[in-house]
């Protein structure tokens, strides 16, 4: 699935099952909530915190998919083509950072 197709599929899902998009502020809050849920899992899986019994049913892939879904909702309702935005972002990063990371002694 391409990013563009994902945007179309999310739009179709919202219109079929979701009634309408939540407003942008609500979706931003939901995005933050989903990122927090992923952070909780990563802190426990890769960090020093231990899992609580209630944490064990969560998984990273599902939380990342939740984040992507809400991000796509925000893009759709604000008229952003994520494919175009991501392609431009990669060009920007390449131009800005093409030598920076290779010259970073902390990474070598």
> By the 8 A CB rule, do 50 and 44 touch?
yes
CA dist 18 and 68 (Å) reads 16
How confident is the model at residue 5, as a pLDDT? 98
Q: 58-89 pLDDT, tens per residue? A: 799 999 999 999 999 999 999 999 999 999 99
The domain 3-81 is classified under which CATH number: 1.10.287.1080, 3.40.1190.20, 3.40.50.300, 2.60.40.10?
A: 1.10.287.1080
Q: Locate the domains of the chain by residue range.
A: 3-81
Write out residues in the chain with pLDDT < 50, as ranges.
Answer: none
Question: Directed axis angle between helix 60-78 and helix 82-97, to 10°?
Answer: 110
What does each C-alpha distance from 21 to 3, 36, 73, 77, 88 come to in angstroms? 19, 21, 7, 7, 26
């Amino acid at each position: 699935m391409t990013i563009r197709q994902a945007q179309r599929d999310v739009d179709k899902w919202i219109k079929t099952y979701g009634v309408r998009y939540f407003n942008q502020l609500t979706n931003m809050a939901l995005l933050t909530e989903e990122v927090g849920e992923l952070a909780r899992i990563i802190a426990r899986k890769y960090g020093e915190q231990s899992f609580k019994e209630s944490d064990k049913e969560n998984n990273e892939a599902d939380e990342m998919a939740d984040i992507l879904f809400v991000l796509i909702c925000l893009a759709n309702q604000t008229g952003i083509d994520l494919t175009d935005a991501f392609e431009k972002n990669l060009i920007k990063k390449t131009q800005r950072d093409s030598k920076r990371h290779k010259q970073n002694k902390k990474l070598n």
